[in-house]
Structures are given as structure tokens and as C-alpha cells.
């Protein structure tokens, strides 16, 4: 969800105003995904690298997330959205963790759309965590190293319960992955748009899905 800062700067506003407007884009895209029948939507909301930002911006983002959850929870439930997170959420402030765990519990039985928020997320850290977890199983004698295959690694990633993404949308024209789902995106289709995230709406999502529909996916075959 890139471009919040640039959107705000372009309007002479504070960066946090861009994030606030970005939360409106989240609301609209969740509705769009429900309409399209998308089963999983993963939003890269906060990376481990984002902790390097000024404290006021970091805290502003955490409070925004808390407000978003408390305001949107009834609507998420009404739309059958199940909320989940990936990342080292233990790094988040206590009040943010409490808001998240309340919403995760409240939406746990919903079956419409799984909305996964990547928070304090780093794909390399995720892979490190998976390797450590596999090594512990080997050390305990529960896993033969020769049995470590792609499926075993996938089972140890934070995303173990979700399918690999079919489509990656990156806003604001940036052409990099920024430490996002490096393993999982191996055969994902990329869609890059110059639209800044705060301006991204359902129509832009439909456009991305239309473009995805025209792709020929060969997964390395012919």
C-alpha cells in the first residue's frame, strides 16, 4: 500500500493524513474483494523496516490501525470477513495487539474473505523463523533432514494456512518487492500502477483483476 507519504506531500498535508486516507482505500478494497469473490487479501501494512520511521508516524499508524479496527469491526463481520495477521506482531504496542486479537477472535468463524494484515513483517525474518523451527524439529528427532522439501518449508512459514497469492498489486509505481512474501510470490502475477495508495479504489482493483484475467500463466511450462 505504497504512496501515502507522497499523496500527502502533494497536497501539502502531513504524512499521517496520507495514511488516514489510505485506510479509506483499505475499506473500499475489502468491499471490492467481497464483490469479486476474492478469498484471500493480504495487505502489507507495516514492515519491520518501517520501525525506523519517526516515532510520531509509527505511533500514529498504530493508533490509526486501532481506530480502523474498532470502527470497521461490525462491517467486517457483516461482510463475513475473517481477520488474520502475519509478522512479528509481538513487537506491536500492547493496545494494538489487544485490538487485533479481539478482532481476530470476533471474526474467526467468518468464511467470506480472509483479510491478512502483514504487520511488523519481513519476508527474510519469516524465512529465518521457518529455518529455526525446522532445525528444532530435526534436533528433537522428529524430522529427517532429507524430508525437508518445499511443502515442509511452506508449512513453517507464517502463511502456512493460506494459498500462494495469484496477483500482487503494488501502487505508486515502485518496481520492487520490499521484503514481501519472497517465497510465496514465486509464480504470482505482478500488477504495478502509478496510482498512489490513498487514491486506489474498487475500480482500480477491478482494473487490476481484469488485467490479471488476460495473463497466460504457464508456471514454467509451455
Catalytic positions: 2, 50
Among 83, 117, 157, 208, which residue interacts with ligand FPP (rule: CB under 6 A)? Answer: 117
Other CB atoms within 10 A of residue 73 CB: 17
Other CB atoms within 10 A of residue 218 CB: 8
Instruction: Please say which residue, 47 or 184, places its beta carbon nearer to ligand FPP.
Output: 47
> Would you count residue 130 as binding ligand FPP (CB under 6 A)?
no
Of 44-52, 76-84, 86-94, 139-147, the segment contacting ligand FPP by CB under 6 A is 44-52
Q: Which of residues 140-199 bind ligand FPP (CB under 6 A)?
A: 172, 197
Instruction: Please say which residue, 4 or 130, places its beta carbon nearer to ligand FPP.
Output: 4
> Would you count residue 100 as binding ligand FPP (CB under 6 A)?
no
> Would you count residue 5 as binding ligand FPP (CB under 6 A)?
yes
Nearest to 61 by CA among 4, 129, 142, 131: 4
* CA separation for the pair 219, 130 (Å, rounded): 25
* CA separation for the pair 57, 46 (Å, rounded): 11
Least distance in angstroms from the C-beta of 24 to ligand FPP: 9
In the block, which residue shows the cell 478469498? 39
> Would you count residue 104 as binding ligand FPP (CB under 6 A)?
no
Of 4-12, 32-40, 74-82, 104-112, the segment contacting ligand FPP by CB under 6 A is 4-12
Sheet containing 40-47: order of strands: 40-47, 113-121, 81-86
* CA separation for the pair 159, 84 (Å, rounded): 10
In the block, which residue shows the cell 506531500? 9
Instruction: Write out the three cell numbers for 18.
Output: 496520507
Residue 181, classed as helix, strand or coil, is: coil
> Would you count residue 22 as binding ligand FPP (CB under 6 A)?
yes
Of 19-27, 78-86, 156-164, 213-221, the segment contacting ligand FPP by CB under 6 A is 19-27
Residue 105, classed as helix, strand or coil, is: helix
Instruction: Write out the three cell numbers for 43.
Output: 495487505
> Would you count residue 125 as binding ligand FPP (CB under 6 A)?
no
Instruction: Please say which residue, 29 or 134, places its beta carbon nearer to ligand FPP.
Output: 29
Under the rule (CB under 6 A), what is the footprint of ligand FPP?
1-6, 19, 22-23, 26, 43, 45-46, 50, 61, 64-65, 68, 117, 172, 197
Amino acid at each position: 500500500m505504497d504512496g501515502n507519504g507522497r499523496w500527502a506531500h502533494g497536497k501539502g498535508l502531513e504524512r499521517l493524513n496520507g495514511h488516514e486516507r489510505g485506510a479509506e482505500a483499505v475499506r473500499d478494497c475489502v468491499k471490492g474483494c467481497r464483490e469479486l469473490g476474492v478469498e484471500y487479501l493480504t495487505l502489507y501494512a507495516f514492515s519491520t523496516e518501517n520501525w525506523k520511521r519517526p516515532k510520531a508516524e509509527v505511533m500514529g499508524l498504530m493508533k490509526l490501525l486501532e481506530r480502523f479496527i474498532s470502527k470497521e469491526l461490525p462491517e467486517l463481520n457483516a461482510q463475513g470477513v475473517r481477520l488474520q495477521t502475519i509478522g512479528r506482531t509481538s513487537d506491536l504496542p500492547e493496545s494494538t495487539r489487544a485490538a487485533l486479537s479481539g478482532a481476530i477472535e470476533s471474526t474467526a468463524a467468518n468464511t467470506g474473505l480472509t483479510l491478512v494484515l502483514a504487520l511488523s513483517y519481513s519476508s527474510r525474518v519469516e524465512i529465518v523463523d521457518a529455518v529455526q523451527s525446522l532445525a528444532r524439529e530435526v534436533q528433537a528427532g522428529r524430522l529427517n533432514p532429507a524430508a525437508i522439501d518445499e511443502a515442509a518449508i511452506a508449512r513453517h512459514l507464517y502463511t502456512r494456512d493460506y494459498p500462494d497469492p495469484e496477483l500482487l498489486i503494488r501502487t505508486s509505481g515502485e518496481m520492487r518487492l520490499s521484503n514481501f512474501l519472497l517465497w510465496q510470490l514465486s509464480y504470482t502475477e505482478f500488477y504495478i500502477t502509478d496510482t498512489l495508495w490513498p487514491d486506489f479504489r474498487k475500480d482500480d482493483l477491478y482494473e487490476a483483476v481484469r488485467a490479471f484475467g488476460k495473463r497466460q500463466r504457464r508456471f514454467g511450462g509451455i
